[in-house]
Amino acid sequence: MRVVRTARERAEKVRRLLHALGDTEEQLPLSVRFRLTGKRLMEQELDEETAGIYADLTLAVHDLNLLLSDAFYPGSVKREA
């Protein structure tokens, strides 16, 4: 239950950051929303605040993906020693 709670918390953080960057496509998976937001942001000049939020989003998505792969797909990601 602790892993599920942590995953939900991390997913909510990703949702908040996506929303802060103007994403409102709630019906799409977080991974798709992240990719679309990244593409949209690459097409524009980012101010320092937006770049910082996108950096936080990138780290939050990475943290969520690591948790999901470790907890629900063990052995699916090769780790470097």
* pLDDT value of position 79: 56
| 29, containing H or E segment | none
Give DSSP secondary structure letters for 40-78: HHHTSPPPHHHHHHHHHHHHHHHHHHHHHHHHHSTTSSP
* pLDDT tens for each residue of 62-74: 999 999 998 887 7
Burial 3-16 (b: 16+ CB within 10 A, else e): eeeeeeebbebbee
Q: According to the model, what pLDDT value does residue 77 have?
A: 56
Q: Report the pLDDT value the prediction gives residue 10, as an integer from 0 to 100.
A: 97
Cα–Cα nearest to 68, from 16, 18, 7 = 7
What are the per-10-residue average pLDDT scores of the chain (81 residues)?
Answer: 94 98 95 96 94 97 94 67 48
Per-residue confidence (pLDDT) for residue 71, from 0 to 100: 86
